[in-house]
Amino acid sequence: MIPVAEPCLGEEELKNVIEAVKSGWISSKGKFIEEFEEKFVRYCGRKYGVATSNGTVALHLALKALGIGKDDEVIVPTLTFVATANAVTYCNAKPVFVDSHPEYWCINPDKIEEKITPRTKAIIPVHLYGHPCDMDLIMKIAEDHNLYVLEDAAEAHGAEYKGEKIGSFGDISCFSFYGNKIITTGEGGMCLTNNEELAEKMRILRDHGMNPNRRYWYDEIGFNYRMTNLQAAVGVAQLEKLDEFIEKKRKIAKMYEEGLNELEEKNLIILHREMKWAKSVYWMYSILIEDSFGMNRDILMKELERKRIDTRPFFYPMHVLPPYQNNERFPIAEEISRKGINLPSGVGLKEEEIRKIVESLILKSK
C-alpha cells in the first residue's frame, strides 16, 4: 500500500536516542529538550519555546496561559482537526465556528467579525494541510477587537506567509510532532511565543504548576504536559532535515499539480493551490473531487484502495460532530469536507508512485 504519510527516520535519530538512553535521562530532563526548543524557536523566528507531550496539550497550555476560562468564546475554523476545538472546551470555554475560505480552505477572515461578541477572547487560525491563513487580515481583526491570536500550526512547520515563517504570528503558536507530521518526535508538541511572561507561565503550567523557586509548592493547578528527552532526541535530528523535507513536499505537490492539471481544467477536481502570498508546505497534498468526476469521493477512495493507494477523507467540520453540533450552516466547509481527500504525501514517496496515483485518478474520472 502506498501510505498517506509515514515518518522519515534515519541513523541520526537513532544515534540521538541511543545517547539519551545511555545517559539515563529518558524522562523530561536532559540536554535534548532545551536543544530542541532553542533550535525550533530559532527556525520559526521566535524567542521562547515550550516543548510539550503532544500538540493537543500545547493548545490547551497556550489557552490556559492566556487566561481563557469559563464562558469565554474562542473563534476557530469549523474545518479543522478536532483537537483545536477540544482544547478550547478543556478550558470550559466555547469554540465559536467560522466557515472556510473557498480558495485556500483555512478560516475565512471575512466571516470572523460577525462572530465576535463581548465574550470573545481569542482567534485560533489553523494552517490547514500546510497552507497558511491570511495572517494580515486576522491580526488586524484581533487588534481592532483586542483579541489574542493563537496559531494552530500543527500541520504547517516551515510554511510562510508573505515571507515570514508560520508560527511567528500572534501571541502564541502551537505545533504538533505526531508521527505523520512534517517532522516528528513520535508524540510531541511545542508552544512558541515572544512574550517572556507567557513562556514562563507555560513552563510552570506544564510542570504541575510548580513554583520555579520553591520545590513542590504549587500556586495553581497545572498539568504534566512535559516532553521527554527521548522525544526531543528524535526532534533534534528531525529538525536538521526539515528544509529538505519541505523541499520534497513541494516537489511532490508540483508533480501532482502537473499530472492532475488536466482534470482540473475539465472541472472534475479542484487542486489545493498556493495563494500568491503563501508558501505552503503541503503537509497533505489534497484535492476536491467535484460531483462531475463520475464517482463520489468515498467510492473513489475505495477504488484507489483496491489499487493499493491509501488516502484520507477530509476532517468533518466541527459543527456536525456530536459534541459541537448546532443548527448553523457553514456551506463552504461542508462542501470542502464532503469533496476533499488527502493523497499520499510522505517524503518517502517515489516519482513512479506519484505517476501511478495520477494515472489511477485520470482513469477513474469520466
Interface with ligand PLP (CB under 6 A), residue from 91, 98, 123, 126: 126
Q: Does 84 bind ligand PLP (CB under 6 A)?
A: yes
Q: Letter for the amino acid at 95?
A: P
Q: Which three cell numbers stand for residue 30?
A: 536532559
Among residues 64, 121, 165, 181, the one annotated as catalytic is 181
126 vs 361, beta carbon nearer ligand PLP: 126
Rounded-to-integer distance, Cα 193 and Cα 314, Å: 30
Residue span binding ligand PLP (CB under 6 A) among the ranges 15-23, 149-157, 304-312, 347-355:
149-157
The sign of the torsion formed by the CA atoms of 152, 74, 113, 339 equals positive
By CB under 6 A, which span of 51-59, 89-97, 106-114, 327-335 interacts with ligand PLP? Answer: 51-59
151 binds ligand PLP (CB under 6 A): no
Q: How far is CA 109 from CA 114, 125, 258, 272, 346, in A?
A: 10, 9, 30, 18, 30
Q: Does 90 contact ligand PLP by CB under 6 A? A: no
> 51, 36 in Cβ contact below 8 A?
yes
- CB closer to ligand PLP, 109 vs 189: 189
Q: Does 316 bind ligand PLP (CB under 6 A)?
A: no
Q: Does residue number 155 form part of the binding site for ligand PLP (CB under 6 A)?
A: yes
| Burial category of 283 from C-beta neighbours within 10 Å (exposed 0-12, middle 13-18, buried 19 and up) | buried
| Candidate list 4, 154, 172, 253; residue touching ligand PLP; CB under 6 A | 154
Q: Which residue is nearest to ligand PLP (CB)?
A: 55
> Residues in contact with ligand PLP, total (CB under 6 A)?
14
Is 181 among the catalytic positions?
yes
Residue 81 or residue 223: which is nearer to ligand PLP going by CB?
Answer: 81
Q: Which three cell numbers stand for residue 97?
A: 465556528
Rounded CA separation 174/182 (Å):
14
User: Which is nearer to ligand PLP, 157 or 364 (by Cβ)?
Assistant: 157
Is 174 in contact with 153 (CB distance < 8 Å)? yes
Q: Is the dihedral of CA 152, 157, 163, 167 positive or negative?
A: positive
Burial of 117-131, coded b for 16+ CB within 10 Å and e otherwise, reads eeebbbbbbbbbbbb
198 close to 66: Cβ distance less than 8 angstroms: yes
Q: Using CB under 6 A, which of 16, 54, 229, 286 touches ligand PLP?
A: 54
Residue 55 makes contact with ligand PLP by CB under 6 A: yes
Q: Is 157 left (phi over 0), alpha (psi -120 to 50) or beta?
A: beta
Stretch that binds ligand PLP, among 4-12, 78-86, 288-296, 328-336 (CB under 6 A): 78-86
**Contact letters (x/-) for ligand PLP, 178-217, by CB under 6 A?**
x----------x----------------------------
Query: Shortest approach of ligand PLP to residue 95 CB, angstroms?
Result: 12
Report whether 188 contacts 53 (CB < 8 A): yes
- Per CB under 6 A, residues contacting ligand PLP are 54-56, 80-81, 83-84, 126, 152, 154-155, 176, 178, 189
**Which residues are tagged catalytic?**
181
